Amino acid sequence: MASASSKSASLFEPTLLKQAALDSLRKLHPRDVARNPVMFVVWAGSLLTTVLLVRDLASSAEGATPVWFTVAVTLWLWFTVLFANFAEAVAEGRGKAQAGALRKMRKDTTARRLVDGREERVSAPSLRKGDLVVCEAGDLIPGDGEVVEGIASVDESAITGESAPVIRESGGDRSAVTGGTKVLSDRIVVRISANPGESFLDRMIGLVEGAARQKTPNEIALHILLVGLTLVFLLACVTLVPMALYSGVKLSGTAVVALLVCLIPTTIGGLLSAIGIAGMDRLLRKNVLAMSGRAVEAAGDVDTLLLDKTGTITLGNRMATELLPMPGVRLEELAEAAQLASLADETPEGRSIVTLVKDAYKMRPRELKAHHATFVPFTAQTRMSGCDLVDPGPRSIRKGAVDAILKHVQGQGGAVPSELAQAAGRIGDAGGTPLAVADGARLLGIVHLKDVVKGGIKERFDRFRAMGIRTVMITGDNPRTAAAIAKEAGVDDFLAEATPEAKLALIRAEQAKGKLVAMTGDGTNDAPALAQADVGVAMNTGTQAAKEAGNMVDLDSNPTKLLEVVEVGKQLLMTRGTLTTFSIANDVAKYFAILPALFMGVFPDIAPLNVMGLSSPYSAILAAVIFNALIIIALIPLALRGVRYRPLGAAALLRRSLLLYGVGGVIVPFVGIKVIDVLLTAAGWA
């Protein structure tokens, strides 16, 4: 992100808390409170008890509810609303702090717009979609776009937080540039892809502030459930009034309101919005921008992960791991020839061969000037590289694809040993790539190039499997190589020789089975699959088409990040589920706290239900109201940080949630309300 400090900022930073406290007061406006039906009932109840308090203060009737009780209940009801507002304000405040850092990145820059081949200087805000602008070393890129001409090194640290520059060039999958980043070298022509107010930076600011956040389907469903429970308890409390009058129990309006607030699911109602905002915030702190809360939620429900082999499962570059000499060839001779043939090879594979020979065989690159060496670089056409030596005798050393080297050797009149095909076959079966090495017409041996599987990736896949998530490796390799790597990495399935059409077909096939699919991509050819997937994570270094098709953008352009995205989504759903369980269990406990204390004077038979042994009806109600408010504050850290992520299946998670947060949700109120009741009695307020 733009500011490293924003990532590591304390959950309860003093400046953030101060602003959140002010925002919680502003959120008392009816328009804001009405967005949360449960808290709106609490707000309306607080307003009613305030009116009753004013009435009691103006004219106190004999036998009326004690004023101290009405004052205490009214204050704690308002605190309940404020604490719920505070939870939401803290979650939003962290986003606003990040938005402030992003706004500082905006600079009024001058753009060099191309019109009919001529340059004209205009202000960046006047640029429109489709305009062409020229950017050279030292220039700030004036807006989001795609490089249509040239290649340049670009500093994107303002967006990604990474100080290392990146290459942006036309015609490839690394052509997208972001407004506000800086060109460090060379010259590029950029086609602007966003109008003012619609840029990547503008979207980021809107999302982190919560302005663009909408309720997700699961949140809407949970809101409907909470509203239903609230209506049930509202009707129950309304019917208690005539029942109490018939029974000779005088229930004041304050007591009925307090009873209603304690019974409705205020805990989850007060924290629900904060949980959703915090989920998007946690994802943003991993440098992943979610375009909607729906995308984060879908990540938590994912059934199938489509993972690119290169960069996600393997390190991305094939590395030389072994030299296999042919019969009659010394290992040292093969090592020397492989090193000489690779000195001019600038590919990662070529450099890894030089490194292997130096580290494993203690042979440093030779000084070849005296030998009048001519290097032959690797090209896609010849598929080999090498070195021609003149002194002490003419030598033509080559290294490359097995079939290319075979043609070279046979063209020089050499013979091909039968062991070569066997060795190449074994390497291919193991998921590696064989490269042959020859000295003139003599074939010396094979270099084993291996796709190195990332450390710990197999264990990570095991954790996903335990949660019921299926992993599928996507690769352009042939089926034999793909099968070997898939087995080593521990994925459930693989798609070999993958094409964009094959990816799209696989996603549709999984969705036809009722499964949610997540994938990553960076190229224009990935756009259809990213758009089709339920969770499509586009790389920030990718094309504009890919970024627009996905519903998430990884600012670090790290394909492995998809695994973390799923974990954040799971954590969001786990947090929401556990706190909902805790809240409903709370209501059960408060039911046993209040109702027996209210009616056991008239109905002695229900005295055994007063398991807490509360002092009086007044202390029972007030203790429950105070606990109801304090538990929201106590759970704010859990709502914002999220419950600890555990790679468990749905059944195991449900059992754990019911045991820990269900049983705990019943026990904690019993203890808490009893402690508060004892303190109230000691203070003479019982």
Q: Judge whether 384 is annotated as a binding position.
A: yes
Q: Judge whether 169 is annotated as a binding position.
A: no
Q: Judge whether 656 is annotated as a binding position.
A: no
Q: Judge whether 381 is annotated as a binding position.
A: yes
Which residue of the set 23, 131, 281, 308 is catalytic?
Answer: 308
Distance of CA 373 to the CA centre of its chain: 52
Q: Judge whether 274 is annotated as a binding position.
A: no
Q: Judge whether 74 is annotated as a binding position.
A: no
Compute the distance between CA of residue 304 and CA of residue 511 in angstroms, rounded to an integer. Answer: 9
Nearest to 172 by CA among 548, 553, 542, 558: 542
Residue 58 makes CB contacts below 8 A (sequence gap 6+) with none
Nearest to 335 by CA among 367, 351, 358: 358
Q: Judge whether 522 is annotated as a binding position.
A: yes
Compute the distance between CA of residue 168 and CA of residue 184 in angstroms, rounded to an integer. Answer: 11
Nearest to 665 by CA among 269, 265, 371, 309: 265
Q: Judge whether 385 is annotated as a binding position.
A: yes
Q: How far apart are the first and last CA of the chain?
A: 54
Both tokens of 484, joined, read: 């070997």
Cα–Cα distance list, 320 to 196, 403, 447, 452, 634 (Å):
49, 19, 7, 10, 55
Query: If residue 625 lies in a helix (H) or strand (E), which one and from where to where?
Result: helix 617-641
- Helix (H), strand (E) counts: the chain: 24, 21
Residue 216: phi and psi, rounded to 5, are -85, 165
Q: Judge whether 349 is annotated as a binding position.
A: yes
**Which regions of 367-453 does DSSP assign to beta strands (E)?**
374-376, 384-389, 395-401, 432-439, 442-453
Q: Specify the residue for token string 């947060």.
A: 661
Distance of CA 22 to the CA centre of its chain: 30
Helix, strand, coil percent values for the chain (each to nearest 5) = 55, 15, 30
Length of the chain (residues): 686
Compute the distance between CA of residue 490 and CA of residue 473 in angstroms, rounded to an integer. Answer: 10
Q: Judge whether 378 is annotated as a binding position.
A: yes
Q: Judge whether 382 is annotated as a binding position.
A: yes
Nearest to 90 by CA among 17, 28, 22, 26: 17
Specify whether 308 is catalytic: yes
Binding site for ATP, by residue number, is 345, 349, 378-385, 399
Which positions make up the binding site for Mg(2+)?
522, 526
Residues belonging to the binding site are: 345, 349, 378-385, 399, 522, 526
Q: Which residues are catalytic?
A: 308
